[in-house]
Structure 1
Amino acid sequence: MATRLGLGLPQMRQYSIGTDVPEVASAAERIGYDSLWVFERALFPEPATQGLYGIAGLPWPDEYRHVADPLVTLTLAAAATRRAELGSSVLVAPLHLPFQLAKALATLDAASGGRVIAGFGSGWSLDEYAASGVRPFEERGAVLDEVIEVCRAVWGPDPVVHDGKLASIASAVVGPKPARPIPVLLAAGSKRAFRRLVDHADGWLPTSLRAEQVAAQWRELRETAEARGRTEPIRTVLRVNTARQAEPYEGTGRRPFQGSVDQIVADLVDYAEIGLDEVIVDLQGSARDARELADVAAELFEKARAAGV
């Protein structure tokens, strides 16, 4: 069975969000992509108080200076499509008030006919946490737990009841309800995060580490699930942030998914052998505009399917 393929939607500075998101979303669905995805970067601190991913000295990419809101972007895509799933990889859940986030996702799922995938992560930016004002960075794990709890409650049958630190719902009718149970996927790479995923989520959002690292994490996650008695399948969706260029990357030191479309497809073949359900390909950073993004997405999809992905 072929690996499902998703496409990252245009959210960066070079795109006109109101026109380019619907255009790319519609084109991707026609091409054959199974899903459309967004990511979240709330701000670009200048000067940065910490490096990218919290790594000292690692600069933030310039593309992060301008990233459109993920839920607004998905809403635009939903209105322009009928089949493709609509996911976040990832939405930094602790930056959002749990009740409002749960209701927004439920409304989007109802409006799109049951196509939303709630992909959550805990984030890493101290500046984003300070700006959101929900809870301090040190509490991000507990906040993520409550976000999931509130979402499950709000999306479930009425009356909705929840008693937590961030939200208290004594007994209420909350609508609209999702068209179907919204799957919750989590970004996870540590033992603690794997336990949270196994106990509370429907799937895993790995990042594009080297193929052998992703394979090792996938084995560890399955072992954790077995040890904790989980029998439900875990959906797996890998996000690939490409560094595409017109000509092949020459010489040593090429990173995975860096280079020409042919080189990116060759990497996809290697990662498909891990046995993950789906791969999201984000091509937006290297495209000049929506037309080029759609054209490259079509070329990559055709070549990936021809290669057996």
Structure 2
Amino acid sequence: MRPPRRRAVRARGANAARYGAFVEVGFAAPVSGSWATPEHMIHVARRAERLGYRSLWTFQRLLYPAEGGYGEMYRSVQDPVVTLSFLAAHTERIRLGTAVLNLPFVSPVLLAKQLSTLDIVSGGRLDVGLGLGWSDDEFAATGADKRERGKRAVEFVRVLRTLWTEEVVEHAGGFYRVPRTRMEPKPVQRPHPPVLLGGGVPEALRRVGRVADGWISGSQADLTSIGDAVATVKTAAAEAGRDPDALRFVCRGAVRVRPAGAADRKPLTGSLDEIRADVAELAGRGITELFLDLNFDPEIGSPDADPAASLRRADEVLEAFAPGA
């Protein structure tokens, strides 16, 4: 199986010399709202692969409050692992990522088996993004504990890697216990699929630098100061004796295409030209990868949105930001 093409959007300005010259570009699969149909998933995935995008991404939401309040993009969300397994059968090269799976809701043994299988059926194309979760409803419904989530995350990642790399597994920790057993088959990727962590507070960022293969920003991240988050991760990695330059920095680009020239415009909201300039700026702030995510646009990611109009917008954005275009 051929590796994905690594085309990129070029950075501009003084920051490019400091952080590097390019950012790899991915795209989010339709997983939220009325446009998240099997037909649309296949259409977007295949077109993204054909246009040279590096990756496809999904996100997780289990429940939505009966009284609302989370935002339209969370009302109706497809399962991320099932969606990527489905799309693995309809693509050949493009990488498949979760951004993110909330680790407190499942056991590391169950997730290790599911993701190992996904890596196998996709031919070694999986990127594993994990988060700590934030919805009180989901914690209550899954029986998860919000206490000591940071420590739990560190142990969770350690158990995942052990299950994926060691022939005989045995673990006894503060949160998880695995008796002396074997887990087969192992993932295709060696030593294992990349494990990325989310989070935005300083301690979460430092945890990324100490234990993960990279960082994934959230949909609410302040993109004007994202370089500070990158710097925090890199400093923690160096202090832990790790190579900061080996880490990946993935930005969820919550894109909203709108008329140009808004006085209070936020990054990645506006005309295609304005958004294109924003992408180049993010490369200059240390971001190595960015995926364009239309699911977080309320005009697209809502169950009440027009699915045909959403797909037309996706085609427009896919064409406009095609790597190398």
Is the structural similarity TM-score above 0.5?
A: yes
Q: TM-score normalised to the size of structure 2?
A: 0.83
> Counterpart in 2 of 1:215?
227
Q: Percent identity?
A: 36
> Counterpart in 2 of 1:241?
254
Judge which range, 156-165 or 85-94, deviates more.
156-165
C-alpha RMSD of the superposition = 2.1
Greater helix proportion: 1
**Counterpart residue type for residue 153 of structure 1:** T
- Measured after TM superposition, the shift of residue 96 of structure 1 is 1.7
Point out where structure 2 has 5 or more consecutive residues left out of the alignment.
Answer: 1-20, 301-306
Where does 1:103-142 land on structure 2 (aligned, <5 Å)? 103-133=113-143, 135-142=144-151
Contact 1:243 1:259 in 2 (8 A): yes
Per-residue Cα deviation, 1:3-49 (whole angstroms, up to 9, x for no partner): 2101011012212533222221111100111000001111111236x
Which of 102, 106, 109 is the equivalent residue of 1:92? 102
Which of 284, 297, 308 is the equivalent residue of 1:273? 284
- Measured after TM superposition, the shift of residue 211 of structure 1 is 4.0
Contact 1:98 1:146 in 2 (8 A): no
Match of 1:3, SS? strand
> Counterpart in 1 of 2:26?
6
Point out where structure 1 has 5 or more consecutive residues left out of the alignment.
Answer: 49-58
> Counterpart in 2 of 1:226?
238
Match of 2:320, SS? helix
1:297 pairs with 2:317: yes
Q: Relative to structure 1, is the Cα distance of residues 161 and 177 closer, same or farther in structure 2, using a 3 angstrom cutoff? A: same
Contact 2:36 2:78 in 1 (8 A): no
User: After TM superposition, where is structure 1 displaced by more than 6 Å over at least 4 residues in a row?
Assistant: none
Aligned residues: 292
- Measured after TM superposition, the shift of residue 61 of structure 1 is 1.0
Contact 1:27 1:294 in 2 (8 A): no
Higher RCO (C-alpha 8 Å, min separation 6)? 2
- Measured after TM superposition, the shift of residue 114 of structure 1 is 0.9
Question: Take 1:76 and 1:192, find their aligned partners in 2: how far apart are those partners?
Answer: 35
- Measured after TM superposition, the shift of residue 79 of structure 1 is 0.9
Question: Take 1:227 and 1:16, find their aligned partners in 2: how far apart are those partners?
Answer: 43
Q: Relative to structure 1, is the Cα distance of residues 18 and 272 closer, same or farther in structure 2, using a 3 angstrom cutoff? A: same
Match of 2:186, SS? coil
